């Protein structure tokens, strides 16, 4: 098991180096510099437009620059003013349709797209582009919308049964040594994921809807039955706008239920309710937070773990350039179990980075994605476990890192490759844990 520190450090360094390059590398710096330069150019064009208010070329250039820096209001008002001077400008109507589509005003966007295709001598490439937008508008404006994915893959885990790291453990306060069968074992297996989301659109200007999410997850190993798990999840609730803005502040109350099986029998069932809040702070920043309370009931031989759970999460997301998303979040969990030695409190920190890019291949229907994460959590138990030791309560620190690459192909099909590592260090050696996992999968999204 000594191989873990070397591999984990290399994996963690790779994730951190990737994050450093992404967080503060040349791309982000160049994007910030470019955006500042575009804003300066926008000001220059505005001054030129003020001196020559009927110059359509300057107006169109100003609208294009405004759109690039996401100043959609300036771009839209300028293009609409161009139509006052000249109604026969199909290119302007096309760009107006695209801009209204971007801000979620699909009815207005559809009117402009319809006007474009009615014009004479429209190139086929333009017709095809308009058809793509109109098809997406039709999909997005349905009252009932379904989306989801189905994925199957293979996995390898260096500790498939989540066994202890070492032989030396404590039992009733006395030193003991585990047999080979009780230690962590590597294994290969398969996994299955199915997710579906249903939205019922309320038709309001503020992008309000009722959303229901359901998911099934399963993992089976070739030899290690104790590592085999299945999980079923369901959450439903409305998204409500706190203002009349499409991308404004949103609140989502919800209820949910989870059922988890392990080794072909029920592990626990959980029901909860909560509240999510999201706030757009500008072109690049947003915040999110969740509070959730639940009741969990385990199978009979683990009833000491039954109890109430309160989970708090809060974070910030930063998009320095359109294809790069960075998030940082903190969390706190209070688990009040039936037995004090199972009750615990946890604090955590999690960082993620996602980068989308165009591979420039004909087989790619949309951009490919590279996603990485790193997290640390510290957990304190209320009382010592009498089966282990009465000397001290358990205290764990858990580190996780992972990276995944998604390859998007035509017609919703995709493939993914991933690697992850977990290391838990406890003040009681029974609970030390480490695992390295790799996976490959094929999927279909709709």
Residue 321 burial by Cβ neighbours in a 10 Å radius (0-12, 13-18, 19+): middle
The confidence score (pLDDT) of residue 23 equals 39
The confidence score (pLDDT) of residue 182 equals 67
The secondary structure element, H or E, covering residue 236 is strand 229-241
- Beta bridge partners of residue 328, listed in sequence order: 316, 351
The confidence score (pLDDT) of residue 12 equals 41
pLDDT value at 348 more than 80: yes
Task: Write down which residue in 114, 140, 166 finishes a domain.
Answer: 140
pLDDT value at 202 more than 80: yes
pLDDT value at 335 more than 70: yes
Task: Decide if 369 contacts 402 (C-beta within 8 A).
Answer: no
Task: Decide if 108 contacts 99 (C-beta within 8 A).
Answer: no
Q: Are residues 247 and 324 in the same domain?
A: yes
At 66, give phi and psi (nearest 5°): -60, -40
Q: Are residues 132 and 221 in the same domain?
A: no
Question: Which two structure tokens, joined as six digits, stand for 258?
Answer: 């989870």
Asked whether residue 401 is domain-assigned, the answer is: yes
Q: Are residues 180 and 299 in the same domain?
A: yes
The confidence score (pLDDT) of residue 273 equals 98
Task: Write down which residue in 119, 140, 161 finishes a domain.
Answer: 140
Quote the pTM value: 0.72
Q: Are residues 171 and 134 in the same domain?
A: no
12-26, 55-69, 149-163, 199-213, range with the lowest pLDDT:
12-26
**Mean of pLDDT over the chain:** 88
- Beta bridge partners of residue 213, listed in sequence order: 197, 235
Residue 176 burial by Cβ neighbours in a 10 Å radius (0-12, 13-18, 19+): exposed
Q: Are residues 345 and 381 in the same domain?
A: yes
Range of the domain at 71: 18-140
DSSP codes joined into one string, 176-188: EE--GGGS---EE
Q: Are residues 356 and 417 in the same domain?
A: yes
74: helix, coil or strand?
helix
CA 131 to chain centre: 29
86-90, 93-97, 145-149, 307-311, range with the lowest pLDDT:
86-90
- CA atoms within 13 A of residue 109's CA, in its CB half-sphere: 22
**Mean pLDDT of the 272-281 span:** 96
The confidence score (pLDDT) of residue 236 equals 98
Percentage helix, strand, coil, to 5, in the chain? Answer: 30, 45, 25
CA 243 to chain centre: 25
The secondary structure element, H or E, covering residue 155 is strand 144-157
Which among 147, 135, 144 has a CA at the least distance from the CA of 202? 144
Confidence of residue 167 (pLDDT cuts 50, 70, 90): low
Q: Are residues 307 and 332 in the same domain?
A: yes
Confidence of residue 368 (pLDDT cuts 50, 70, 90): very high
Task: Write down which residue in 140, 160, 194 finishes a domain.
Answer: 140
Task: Decide if 421 contacts 398 (C-beta within 8 A).
Answer: no
Task: Decide if 81 contacts 59 (C-beta within 8 A).
Answer: yes
Q: What is the DSSP letter of 282?
A: S
From CA 401, how far away is CA 65, in angstroms rounded?
40
* Per-residue pLDDT tens over the stretch 11-40: 444 444 444 334 334 444 444 457 778 888
CATH of the domain at 316: 2.40.160.40
Residue 395 burial by Cβ neighbours in a 10 Å radius (0-12, 13-18, 19+): middle
Asked whether residue 2 is domain-assigned, the answer is: no
Confidence of residue 139 (pLDDT cuts 50, 70, 90): confident
Number of structural domains found in the chain: 2
Asked whether residue 6 is domain-assigned, the answer is: no
CATH of the domain at 90: 1.25.40.10
Other residues' Cβ atoms within 10 Å of the Cβ of residue 255: 14
CA distances from 326 to 52, 278, 405 (A): 42, 16, 16
């Amino acid at each position: 098991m000594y191989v873990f520190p070397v591999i984990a450090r290399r994996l963690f360094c790779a994730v951190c180096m990737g994050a450093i390059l992404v967080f503060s590398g040349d791309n982000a710096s160049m994007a910030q510099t470019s955006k500042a330069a575009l804003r300066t150019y926008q000001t220059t064009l505005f001054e030129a437009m003020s001196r020559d208010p009927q110059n359509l070329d300057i107006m169109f250039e100003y609208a294009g620059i405004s759109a690039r820096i996401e100043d959609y209001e300036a771009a839209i008002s300028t293009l609409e003013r161009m139509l006052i001077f000249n109604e026969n400008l199909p290119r302007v109507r096309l760009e107006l349709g695209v801009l209204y589509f971007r801000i979620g005003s699909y009815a207005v966007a559809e009117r402009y797209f319809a006007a474009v295709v009615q014009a004479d001598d429209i190139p086929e490439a333009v017709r095809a582009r308009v058809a793509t937008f109109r098809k997406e508008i039709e999909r997005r404006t349905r009252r009932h919308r379904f989306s989801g994915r189905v994925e199957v893959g293979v996995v390898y885990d260096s500790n498939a049964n989540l066994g202890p790291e070492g032989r030396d453990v404590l039992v009733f306060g006395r030193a003991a040594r585990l047999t080979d069968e009780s230690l962590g074992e590597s294994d290969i297996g398969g996994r299955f994921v199915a997710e579906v989301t249903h939205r019922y659109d309320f038709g309001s200007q503020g992008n309000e809807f009722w959303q229901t999410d359901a998911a099934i997850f399963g993992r089976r190993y070739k030899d290690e039955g104790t590592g085999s798990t299945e999980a079923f999840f369901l959450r439903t609730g409305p998204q409500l706008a706190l203002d009349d803005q499409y991308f404004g502040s949103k609140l989502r109350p919800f209820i949910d239920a989870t059922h988890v099986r392990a080794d072909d029998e029920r592990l626990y069932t959980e029901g909860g309710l909560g509240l999510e809040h999201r706030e757009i702070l500008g072109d690049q920043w947003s915040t999110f937070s969740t509070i959730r309370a639940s009741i969990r009931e385990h199978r009979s031989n683990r009833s000491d773990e039954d109890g109430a759970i309160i989970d708090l999460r809060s974070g910030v997301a930063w998009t320095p350039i359109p294809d790069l998303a960075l998030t940082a979040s903190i969390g706190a969990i209070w688990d009040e179990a039936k037995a004090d030695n199972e009750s615990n409190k946890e604090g955590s920190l999690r960082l993620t980075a996602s980068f989308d890019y165009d591979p420039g291949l004909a087989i790619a229907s949309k951009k490919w994605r590279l996603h990485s994460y790193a997290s640390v959590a510290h957990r304190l138990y209320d009382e010592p476990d009498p089966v282990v030791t009465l000397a001290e309560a358990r205290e764990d620190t858990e580190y996780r890192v992972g990276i995944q690459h998604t390859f998007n192909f035509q017609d919703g099909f995709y493939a993914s490759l991933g690697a992850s590592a977990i290391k838990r260090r406890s003040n009681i050696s029974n609970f030390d844990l480490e695992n390295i996992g790799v996976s490959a999968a094929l999927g279909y999204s709709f």
